[in-house]
């Protein structure tokens, strides 16, 4: 199994997504949050599950699409590092020093 390491940015992103969706629907916010967490859990067994982030074209920077959200992660030989979780309609900007 490959350990998954959460960045503070990714944790903050997931919390912000939940809060934003919960303004309209608490049950849907919980469902979407759970879907994102389940996708991230699958990375422990299948770290190369996602595809290369098209904006960067780096084989070590990958993403999973979950609904309208992009779970961006950095893959090395020993860990999966979650970088950020963003809505697909937003411009992807990586946090400074993310990878």
Q: Per residue in 70-84, pLDDT tens? A: 999 999 888 999 999
**Closest to 2 (Cα-Cα) out of 63, 82, 56, 71:** 82
3-state secondary structure of 75: strand
- Per the CB < 8 A criterion, the answer to whether 61 and 49 are in contact is no
Label residue 91 by pLDDT band (50, 70, 90).
confident
pLDDT tens column, 38-74: 999 999 999 999 999 998 888 999 999 999 999 999 9
Label residue 97 by pLDDT band (50, 70, 90).
low
For the chain, what are the domain ranges? 4-87
4-87: what fold? Answer: YaeB-like fold (3.30.2310)
């Amino acid at each position: 199994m490959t350990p998954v390491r959460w960045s503070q940015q990714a944790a903050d992103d997931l919390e912000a997504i939940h809060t934003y969706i919960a303004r309209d629907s608490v049950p849907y916010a919980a469902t979407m949050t759970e879907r994102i967490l389940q996708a991230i859990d699958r990375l422990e067994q299948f770290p190369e599950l996602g595809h290369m982030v098209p904006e960067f074209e780096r084989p070590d920077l990958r993403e999973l699409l979950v609904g309208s959200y992009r779970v961006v992660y950095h893959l090395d030989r020993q860990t999966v590092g979650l970088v950020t979780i963003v809505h697909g309609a937003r411009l992807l900007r990586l946090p400074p020093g993310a990878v």
